Structure 1
Amino acid sequence: MTTFLTGWGRTAPTPATLARPRTLDELREAVEDAPRRGVVARGLGRSYGDAAQNAGGLVLDCTGLDTWTFDEASGLVTASGGVSLHELMTELVPRGWFLPVSPGTRYVTVGGAVAADVHGKNHHRDSSFGAHVRSLTLVTAGGTARVLRPGEPLFHATVGGMGLTGVIAEATFACVPVESARMRVDVERTGDLDETLAVMAATDDRYRYTVAWIDLLARGRRMGRSVLTRGDHAGRTEKREPGFAPGPLVRAPAWVPGGLLNGLSVRAFNEVWYRRAPRRRTVVQDLAPFFHPLDAVEGWNRVYGPRGFVQYQFVVPFGAEETLRGIVGSLSAHGTVSFLTVLKRFGPGSGGLLSFPMPGWTLALDIPAGQRGLGGLLRGFDRRVAAAGGRVYLAKDSRLRADMMAAMYPELERWRRIRDEADPAGLFRSDLARRLLL
């Protein structure tokens, strides 16, 4: 079946043949019979850009690969690549377990979590998803299923490799014990970016999970004012009985006019959000609003209108705070409309050769497509980030240039050599791979 596909940002749709294997044998056959334009796997479509698109080729919807098992004695999950993190959380939390890493949405598949090496609010403590994977099964060119483990070159090329080494059919990873479905959370308001950076640097190590929401439209002495949210899993004396069964609370309209999120509406939202936050308070929250607030709105990406949106996320190393300040200052001066802007601190990476996280500061923005001067502004940021030794997140990218890719990812050539050995004909392809000359 030929269909037009986009990423979660809903920009640049391209046509592809879509197939949905339901067994490992069907998956292997689909890869073996892939057309000349190649093949790429797709999960729940939460990559923001073109990582799971393959114009004129084959795209494998892997959500039909949905079996998993759990060993309560060891805390190890073995799951097919199409199993969603939402399903795992729903079943694991009542048993007293939680995923080692949860990104900002639970509607991500296990295969996607490995391919993008997703990170969460706990990266400064626990690294990214790939650091917790004990083994994975990869269907490579020719339909061969290979079991890979940490230390093997192809394993580290696959973790964070954006699906370009093969299709992740299964992964085994370690979970963490929890006592409840609640979080004990410290909320604190800061007055500007310097205070935000100072408080996070001084206190983040006290918490397993930390994040800061930044008001990008604040200027002058208020530039970078933030609401910090830092938490840990609550104990049994602070919660209800374990349980996790959240669903969307509301549904975004099927059609939203362009321009709904503009400088006026976002400035008003930012003012309310900042003012309603306490200067400092400890609260107890459910898991879902702490980890996945946007999942409460089904189809929230439609709120950005028919032109979609661009998510831009970068990381710069510790010591490059002036680059971060400069970018925040430029965004504020430009009046960039970003409905959600979050800042986190990263710790050591997982060892994935194309993995995004590295020790440093990461900033993520959601920007409605079509804003005046946006392309030039972001290209300038690319150059600043690369010059500082940082990089842009491929799972959220839709517009990076190939020369910047080479400058940002120092292990790129090593990754290419390993990929070429596993896939000499270049069977695994995507629109992202073509754009970045991968």
Structure 2
Amino acid sequence: MAVETRVPDEDCEAISGWGRTAPTLARVHRPRGYAEAVEAVLAPGRRGLVARGLGRACGDAAQNAGGTVLDMTGFDRLLAVDTAAGLVVCEAGVTLHRLMEALLPFGWFLPVVPGTRYMTVGGAIGADVHGGNHSVAGSFGRHVTALELLTADGRIRAVSPGTPLFDATTGGLGLTGVVLSATLRLLPVETSLMRVDTERVPDLDALLTRLADGGRRHSYSAARIDLLARGAATGRAVLTRGDHVPYDALPRRHRARREPLAFRPGRLPVPPPYVPGGPLGRTSVGLLNELWYRGAPRAATGRLRSLPAFFHPLDGVPHRNRIHGPEGFVRYRFVVPYGQEDALRRIVRRIADRRLPCFPAVLRRLGAGGPGPLSFPLPGWSLALGLPTGLPGLGRFLDALDEEVAGAGGRIDLAEDSRVRPEALAAMYPRLDEFRTLRAALDPRSVLVSDLARRLGL
């Protein structure tokens, strides 16, 4: 879809998603408090506005070509912490990294951890993000106990779980209002370590069996899958499962006994050789996959790893969104329901036969979905992969995968999307009209709008 071009104002800035696929120009407003945010919403300009955090949505969900983007990163205060009850009240621009730093010393951790900790609380709510423990903990919105939401009429509303507005906001991609603050229910932990089991899995069928079994014994599980492997090795993977370590389970002389709740995120001192060099192609991705698979233990249990090393190993890689080259990358994340394993097998085989350089590719098991009409998770198998934008015929190929996913009763993740066709959306999100009706009543002038919303008619 062609992006509308217009003569930029002097105060316009280039805005793109994390995938860098479709940069646009917008006026960026950085409110310093509630009054300035209300003022911006009441005078949005002809092209409306959308709130934005750290810009980790891979597609165009936080872009607004020719309009206004409300940069919420200045809303970064922790307003209250109840260390007895495990509740925190924070502004929407607070990052998950900041919450971990502040709360872990008190023995509290985030109940849902997505693939990066460099995401704002508002962004996590708008995307209703999920993690490796979705089958037991659900997505992020399930652990939000209250919201302050600035709606298109300039009102600041206290929104509670179980209401239509709350449900539509979790996973609503910023289109119901601007999240100003949130109250989160936290997870108690005794140490900052994870007990981790790792194993190589030879093929997709074995992987599905192990993931299903491990979901009953471990809190977190995810598989890094090699989508270039074919034949008997199709779907081979490195499966990682983990649980929080209780203090009494620490080895007697382990240094964590002195500082059991220390948060040590770490960072790579220099980029690895492949970052940010030329685009990752089939050969380089194949080599990385082989090194990852062969470098993993055949089976190892009970290894101790820090929270950042377990949850966010790639957060230490500088400029990792550039590894697919100057044209950017497409993040393709989908879920198909349990009982549709044949559809998942067909999709994996099609990707492998096409020899697409997918990096990284992660398979997870999801549990019950959230109440939001646009919330992505549903009970089933979720596969997420990154692909260089410039691959020949990529659009047609992904359109065909969309049909396979929708035909199986699945859906793609709108928070990561940059290219799905509008006509495919209704089959994937059967409550789409419910969302549109609520949004039309709440925002009849379409004050809150994004490039994604225009592209898909949300």
Q: Is the 8 A contact 1:252 1:302 kept in 2?
A: no
Deviation at 1:142, TM superposition (A): 2.4
- Say whether residues 1:58 and 2:81 are aligned partners: no
Alignment of structure 1 residues 325-404 onto 2, 5 Å: 325-404=345-424
Go from structure 1 to structure 2 and tell me whether the alpha carbon gap of 1:250 and 1:421 turns closer, same or farther (over 3 Å shift): farther
Identity of paired residues, percent?
54
Which segment is superposed worse, 415-424 or 190-199? Answer: 415-424
SS of match in other structure, 2:216? helix
Q: Distance in 1 between matches of 2:99 and 2:159?
A: 22
Residue 181 of structure 1 corresponds to which residue in structure 2? 192
Residues 128-185 of structure 1, C-alpha deviations (whole Å, 9 max, x = no match) = 0001111101100121100101111111111100000110001111001001111000
Residue 24 of structure 1 corresponds to which residue in structure 2? 34
Q: Which runs of 5+ in 1 are unaligned?
A: none
Residues 280-325 of structure 1, C-alpha deviations (whole Å, 9 max, x = no match) = 1121101111101110112211222111111100000000001100
Q: Is the 8 A contact 1:251 1:300 kept in 2?
A: no
Q: Is the 8 A contact 2:265 2:309 kept in 1?
A: no
Go from structure 1 to structure 2 and tell me whether the alpha carbon gap of 1:344 and 1:255 turns closer, same or farther (over 3 Å shift): closer
Residue 20 of structure 2 corresponds to which residue in structure 1? 10
Q: Is the 8 A contact 1:212 1:229 kept in 2?
A: yes
Deviation at 1:245, TM superposition (A): 3.7
Residue 417 of structure 1 corresponds to which residue in structure 2? 437
Residue 268 of structure 1 corresponds to which residue in structure 2? 287
Go from structure 1 to structure 2 and tell me whether the alpha carbon gap of 1:252 and 1:17 turns closer, same or farther (over 3 Å shift): farther
Q: Which runs of 5+ in 2 are unaligned?
A: 1-10
Q: Distance in 1 between matches of 2:173 and 2:271?
A: 29
Q: What's the RMSD between the two structures over aligned residues?
A: 1.4
Q: Is the 8 A contact 2:333 2:385 kept in 1?
A: yes
SS of match in other structure, 1:304? coil
Residue 104 of structure 2 corresponds to which residue in structure 1? 93
SS of match in other structure, 1:161? coil
AA in 2 matched with 1:304: H
AA in 1 matched with 2:50: V
AA in 2 matched with 1:285: R
AA in 2 matched with 1:177: P
Residue 157 of structure 1 corresponds to which residue in structure 2? 168
Which segment is superposed worse, 234-243 or 68-77? Answer: 234-243
Q: Distance in 2 between matches of 1:76 and 1:159?
A: 19
Q: Distance in 1 between matches of 2:263 and 2:409?
A: 40
Deviation at 1:64, TM superposition (A): 0.2
AA in 1 matched with 2:363: L
Residues 172-209 of structure 1, C-alpha deviations (whole Å, 9 max, x = no match) = 11001001111000101111001001111122121110
Residue 335 of structure 2 corresponds to which residue in structure 1? 315
AA in 2 matched with 1:133: V
Alignment of structure 1 residues 75-154 onto 2, 5 Å: 75-154=86-165
Q: Is the 8 A contact 2:148 2:157 kept in 1?
A: yes
Q: Distance in 2 between matches of 1:326 and 1:172?
A: 42
Residue 4 of structure 2 corresponds to which residue in structure 1? none
Which segment is superposed worse, 245-254 or 82-91? Answer: 245-254
Deviation at 1:252, TM superposition (A): 4.7
Go from structure 1 to structure 2 and tell me whether the alpha carbon gap of 1:192 and 1:94 turns closer, same or farther (over 3 Å shift): same
Residues 375-418 of structure 1, C-alpha deviations (whole Å, 9 max, x = no match) = 11110000010111100001111101111111110111111111
Q: Is the 8 A contact 1:125 1:205 kept in 2?
A: no
Deviation at 1:94, TM superposition (A): 1.5
- Say whether residues 1:287 and 2:307 are aligned partners: yes
Q: Distance in 1 between matches of 2:444 and 2:356?
A: 43
Deviation at 1:86, TM superposition (A): 0.4
Residue 278 of structure 1 corresponds to which residue in structure 2? 297
Q: Is the 8 A contact 1:257 1:306 kept in 2?
A: no
Q: Is the 8 A contact 1:256 1:306 kept in 2?
A: no
SS of match in other structure, 1:367? strand
Q: Is the 8 A contact 2:276 2:319 kept in 1?
A: no
Residue 41 of structure 1 corresponds to which residue in structure 2? 51
216, 221, 244: which one pairs with 2:232? 221
Residues 334-354 of structure 1, C-alpha deviations (whole Å, 9 max, x = no match) = 001012100000001121111
Go from structure 1 to structure 2 and tell me whether the alpha carbon gap of 1:288 and 1:351 turns closer, same or farther (over 3 Å shift): same
Deviation at 1:255, TM superposition (A): 8.9
Q: Is the 8 A contact 2:214 2:241 kept in 1?
A: no
Residue 203 of structure 1 corresponds to which residue in structure 2? 214
SS of match in other structure, 1:249? coil
Deviation at 1:250, TM superposition (A): 3.8
TM-score when normalising by structure 1: 0.98
Q: How many residues align?
A: 437
SS of match in other structure, 1:92? helix
Which segment is superposed worse, 70-79 or 313-322? Answer: 70-79
- Say whether residues 1:298 and 2:293 are aligned partners: no
Alignment of structure 1 residues 225-264 onto 2, 5 Å: 225-236=236-247, 237-238=249-250, 240=256, 241=259, 242-250=261-269, 252=271, 256-259=276-279, 261-264=280-283
Q: Distance in 2 between matches of 1:199 and 1:310?
A: 29
AA in 2 matched with 1:195: A
Q: Is the 8 A contact 1:36 1:57 kept in 2?
A: yes
AA in 2 matched with 1:27: A
Deviation at 1:226, TM superposition (A): 0.7
Deviation at 1:248, TM superposition (A): 2.9
Go from structure 1 to structure 2 and tell me whether the alpha carbon gap of 1:307 and 1:258 turns closer, same or farther (over 3 Å shift): farther
AA in 2 matched with 1:76: L
